[in-house]
Amino acid sequence: MDYLPNYLPEPYRIRVVEPVKRTTEQEREKYLLEAGYNPFLLDSDKVYIDLLTDSGTGSVTQAMQSAMLRGDEAYSGSRSYHELSRAVKDIFGYQFTIPTHQGRGAEQLYVPALINKRERESGLDRDKMTAISNYFFDTTQGHTQHNRCRVLNVSTPEAFNTEVVSDFKGNFDLEALALAIEEVGPSNVPYIVSTITCNSAGGQPVSIANLRSVYELAQYYGIPVVMDCARFAENAYFVKQREKEFANWSIQEITSEAFKYADIFSMSAKKDALVPIGGLLAFKDDSLLDVQLECKTLCVLLEGFPTYGGLEGGAMERLAVGLYEGMNEDWLASRVQQIEYLVSGLEALGIRCQQAGGHAAFIDAGALLPHIPSWQFPGHALSCELYKVAGIRGAEIGSLLQGCDMETGEQLPCPAEFLRLAIPRATYTQAHFDFIIAAFAEVKKRASSIVGLKFTYEPKVLRHFNAKLEPAL
């Protein structure tokens, strides 16, 4: 059918819309200056296309919206809680669920509980402990360090090389993992985190074979595995496309297989579960009952009673539906195609990107702006220029986000300097992607005159959110 375009039209009808305002380049220069050259600090009405994050920014479905009306707002043991835990059991096979207000709400429960357990049982000092991941997301890393435990990433060697194409760039390097466990000592590893998809490496998937091997190794050494699974459905979609054994499985069947290879899962439900707010902490069975009980106690303190965890009843109903809606294969295909379209459009301009992943285009700012050193944040400078040119907001994933060593205050080494354009679900259309590609053609023309940035205010932790900067002239 050659008369049809070579892309899938968006597989949904848009019925509720949010107006956006266009601004001039002159206005945007002023807004950027007022925001201390930090797009995180811009008001949303000053942004034309907002690609800061795909977290809680996408469309919800009719079924999700209508489910909210069923909310049971009882403080304890509500119908809505039971509906949510029923969905978790059905999809993931996990027996006990704690709702949380978002992903980091789950992290602030399980991270201290697992580290406390290790300390209690081994008598070892937490300062000597190291948690390991294919790549820690920044808040997971932050909570671990806040609990005085170190972090170690053992991603595949090709993960951050934008010149290499590979099916599962999110995988653990299994040899490096085994070596790290032996070096640190198994009792000094309080947990392993399998992040699916691997956000920091560019939304790259992890294969089922890799998840299985990690779990076998962890069981051998007696280390609990936590699945950090904000993008569980996108991961399953890639597994279906790329891991032969699963080519004929449904997204739900692949999901249920993947979750066999962890003991606990921690989910920011603001991504693949499509909700604007919400998170989940779930336990496969009672084998970590002491951790489960400590998480429930911490939940009362930090999030709310463990059968609502900071969510209203209606939000739990919406999440129970969103978990299923997010596994719609047509939508996943359309979403992945949107990202492939954007990445191939940018590459056609000669702009190097990480191979298309699940939720974002990752532009290799280090390659585009080789004259800006890492300590002047090429990804962030590119983000500011893109906003100035076209009102498009992205986020740096590079040295600025990586931050400094807690003890020495030295900048931590960063494997790549990316600008991330995260794509909200079912929110932008093909026309927006053409506009973004056209904006980059202009940015590329200006590349050699783009300057790096330096701090005027540098927060101590998670500095990228609130930092203020100025051009390093």
Ligand X SMILES: Cc1ncc(COP(=O)(O)O)c(C=O)c1O
Q: How far is the CB of 267 from ligand X (least distance, A)?
A: 8
Among 279, 304, 366, 398, binds ligand X (CB under 6 A): 279
Distance CA 463, CA 451 (A): 20
Distance CA 52, CA 171 (A): 25
* Spatial CA neighbour of 194 closest among 221, 165, 179, 216: 216
Q: How far is the CB of 101 from ligand X (least distance, A)?
A: 8
Nearer to ligand X, 31 or 418 (CB): 418
Nearer to ligand X, 228 or 234 (CB): 228
Side-chain half-sphere exposure of 11, counting CA atoms within 13 A: 13
Q: How far is the CB of 230 from ligand X (least distance, A)?
A: 4
- In the three-class reduction of DSSP (H, G, I as helix; E, B as strand; rest coil), residue 153 is classed as strand
Nearer to ligand X, 272 or 385 (CB): 272
* Spatial CA neighbour of 66 closest among 314, 273, 269: 314
Size of the site for ligand X (CB under 6 A): 14
Taking CB atoms, the residue at the shortest distance from ligand X is: 103
> Any catalytic annotation for residue 271?
yes
Nearer to ligand X, 140 or 338 (CB): 140
The CA-based angle 276-65-359, given to 5 degrees, is: 40
Nearer to ligand X, 156 or 268 (CB): 268
- 63 within 8 A of 303, measured Cβ to Cβ: no
Find the catalytic residue in 50, 54, 228, 364: 228
* Residue 348 vs residues 135, 201, 341, 353, 443: alpha-carbon distances, Å: 29, 22, 11, 11, 14
Q: Which of residues 175-214 bind ligand X (CB under 6 A)?
A: 195, 199
Give Cβ neighbours of residue 362 (< 8 Å, ≥ 6 apart).
162, 202, 203, 353, 354, 397, 418, 419, 420, 421
> Any catalytic annotation for residue 75?
yes
Tell whether residue 80 is a contact of ligand X (CB under 6 A): no
Cα–chain center distance at 273: 13
Strands 392-393 and 49-50: parallel
Question: What letter does residue 170 receive in the DSSP assignment?
Answer: T
Q: How far is the CB of 390 from ligand X (least distance, A)?
A: 24
> Any catalytic annotation for residue 90?
no
Among 137, 168, 232, 237, binds ligand X (CB under 6 A): 137
Q: How far is the CB of 468 from ligand X (least distance, A)?
A: 22
Find the catalytic residue in 101, 271, 296, 359: 271
Distance CA 428, CA 47 (A): 14
In the shown chain, the binding pattern of residues 53 to 72 toward ligand X, with x for contact by CB under 6 A and - for none, equals --x-----------------
Tell whether residue 268 is a contact of ligand X (CB under 6 A): yes
Among 50, 158, 173, 228, binds ligand X (CB under 6 A): 228
Nearer to ligand X, 8 or 151 (CB): 151
Tell whether residue 139 is a contact of ligand X (CB under 6 A): yes
Distance CA 154, CA 472 (A): 34
> Any catalytic annotation for residue 228?
yes
- 153 within 8 A of 137, measured Cβ to Cβ: no
In the shown chain, the binding pattern of residues 93 to 132 toward ligand X, with x for contact by CB under 6 A and - for none, equals ---------xxx----------------------------
> Any catalytic annotation for residue 434?
no
Q: Which stretch binds ligand X (CB under 6 A): 135-143, 285-293, 349-357, 430-438?
A: 135-143
Give Cβ neighbours of residue 114 (< 8 Å, ≥ 6 apart).
190, 191, 224, 226, 291
Q: How far is the CB of 271 from ligand X (least distance, A)?
A: 6
* Spatial CA neighbour of 421 closest among 384, 453, 396, 447: 396
* Spatial CA neighbour of 206 closest among 185, 184, 180, 177: 177
Find the catalytic residue in 75, 220, 457, 465: 75
Q: How far is the CB of 77 from ligand X (least distance, A)?
A: 25
Q: Which stretch binds ligand X (CB under 6 A): 133-141, 312-320, 405-413, 437-445?
A: 133-141
Tell whether residue 303 is a contact of ligand X (CB under 6 A): no
What kind and span of H or E run contains 29? Answer: helix 25-34
Strands 192-195 and 130-133: parallel
Q: Which of residues 26-55 bind ligand X (CB under 6 A)?
A: 55
Residues found near ligand X in the complex (CB under 6 A): 55, 102-104, 137, 139-140, 195, 199, 228, 230, 268, 270, 279
Residues recognised as catalytic: 75, 137-138, 228, 230, 271, 464
